[in-house]
Amino acid sequence: MPDADEQHQHLAAALIHAADACKRSFARAVEGHGLTHTQARALFALDEPQPMSALAEVLSCDASNVTLVADQLEQLGLAERRPASDRRVKLLALTDLGATRRDEVGASVSAQSFPSSRLDASERTTLLGLLERLLGPDAD
């Protein structure tokens, strides 16, 4: 097996492992707020109102699944569907409660021993930059 192959595979394994650790840390931090990690990810993605399809891209899942997440966030009173100029489109937007909750959840996430606390600030910046290049303009 060529070295390049092996590096790709180790990198993939490390990425998946690191993300699993992040997901679980995330999930633990947010479960006290009554949210699943998917709901929390959606919450953080809604700085601006987003079409459902845009949210699907952020969550890297099929659009059909966003319907459920949106339903859940609406039931919790954290987000609401709004009409858009193109009447096929629905914009999902945080409610005031949702924005408040997002900040509370964000504080919990950072407060607990998050995996990325093992890195210093400049390492985190480097890592973030590499990940963004990795994801690239058309990650999917």
Partner DNA sequence: TATTGTTATACTCTATAACTATA
Partner DNA sequence: TATAGTTATAGAGTATAACAATA
Which residues form the interface with DNA (CB under 7 A)?
A: 20, 24, 36-39, 51-53, 59-71, 81, 86-91
Q: Does 115 bind a copy of itself (CB under 8 A)?
A: yes
Among the listed ranges 2-10, 64-72, 73-81, 87-95, the one in contact with a copy of itself (CB under 8 A) is 2-10
Nearer to DNA, 57 or 106 (CB): 57
- DSSP states along 38-77: HHHHHHHHTTS-EEHHHHHHHTTS-HHHHHHHHHHHHHTT
Residue 35, burial from CB neighbour count under 10 angstroms (0-12, 13-18, 19+): buried
Q: Within 7-36, which residues bind a copy of itself (CB under 8 A)? A: 7-26
Q: Does 58 bind a copy of itself (CB under 8 A)?
A: yes
Residue 31's binding partner out of DNA, a copy of itself, none, with CB under 5 to 8 Å set by partner kind: none
Query: CA-CA distance, 95 to 103, in Å (whole number)?
Result: 13
Residue 92 amino acid letter: L
**At closest approach, how far in Å is the CB of 133 from DNA?**
22
How many Cα atoms occupy the beta-carbon half-sphere of 19 within 13 Å?
7
Residue 29 amino acid letter: A
Q: Which residues bind a copy of itself (CB under 8 A)?
A: 1-2, 4-26, 41, 44-45, 58, 60, 103, 106-107, 109-110, 114-119, 121, 123-128, 130-136, 139-140
